[in-house]
Amino acid sequence: MEPVTLTSERLAFRPLEPRDAPVIAGAWRDPAIRRWTTVPEPGTEDQAMAFVSRTCASGWADDTNYIFGTHVRETGELIGVIGVFGLSWVCRSENLASMGAWAVPGQRGLGYTVEAVRRVARWVFEDLRMDRVESVIEVGNDASLAVVRKAGFVLEGTLRSRVIQHGTRRDAWLTSLLPQDAGVAPQLPYSEGRMSPPAAHPASSQVSTA
């Protein structure tokens, strides 16, 4: 896909550029970002430059990941990154995408990330024609969970051993947003089922075939 730019009320989104590397490297040194997201070690400006010029650029070219820089429209300041990930053939065949975002220190608590998630999710539904966007968040990352829930995502449950952070497998919360949640018509009809699994059969009623 050719890189695109988007705007919302206060923000502008464009693919990352080499000039963004110093801000990204600085953000990578933030303890909260290092704790809850996967970033290079030790997070140098050279690594940030490689991330922008290789990882981000190839994601757009290969249609596998679309990563935007989040900018304040009035000033042009880069205040975060938001990405749409995992666009493999399987995910595309199921109209499924994943999202993640972070904001630099000093720009949190202003509603920017909520606004970014809402705008990019709408682009995913309207332009990429997806029917489901997921955000997988490590258990304990209450701030990120609060952001996506304010953006309309629904917490569906806890996935055991779902993410790897600092060499350890950890549980994660699974959240999702559907086109209908954002006021967009879905690509395929949705037949909603029951949200809880069927009750287990009493042991006395189970029949062994061994």
pLDDT digits (tens, 9 = 90+) for 56-65: 999 999 999 9
Residue 75 pLDDT greater than 90, yes or no: yes
Range name among 46-50, 69-73, 79-83, 196-200 with the lowest pLDDT average:
196-200
Residue 204 pLDDT greater than 80, yes or no: no
Whole-number pLDDT of residue 87? 82
DSSP H helices, the chain, are 21-28, 31-36, 45-50, 57-62, 89-93, 112-126, 142-150
Instruction: Judge whether 182 and 149 are in contact, CB under 8 Å.
Output: no
Q: Where are the domains of the chain?
A: 6-131
Cα 182 off chain centre by: 16
User: What digits encode the pLDDT tens for the residues 193-202?
Assistant: 876 666 665 5
**Residues forming a β-bridge with 133:** 97, 177
Query: How far apart (Å, rounded) are the C-alpha atoms in residues 2 and 104?
Result: 27
Whole-number pLDDT of residue 166? 87
Instruction: Judge whether 132 and 97 are in contact, CB under 8 Å.
Output: yes
Comparing C-alpha atoms, which of 135, 46, 20 is closest to residue 83? 135
User: What digits encode the pLDDT tens for the residues 79-114?
Assistant: 999 999 988 765 677 899 999 999 999 888 899 999
Q: For residue 93, what are its two tokens? A: 């065949």
Q: For residue 85, what are its two tokens? A: 């990930």
Residue 159 pLDDT greater than 50, yes or no: yes
The CATH code of the domain at 6-131 is 3.40.630.30
Mean pLDDT of 4-21: 97
Whole-number pLDDT of residue 93? 77
Whole-number pLDDT of residue 197? 67
Whole-number pLDDT of residue 91? 66
Mean pLDDT of 7-17: 97
Mean pLDDT of 183-203: 78
The pTM assigned to this predicted structure is: 0.89
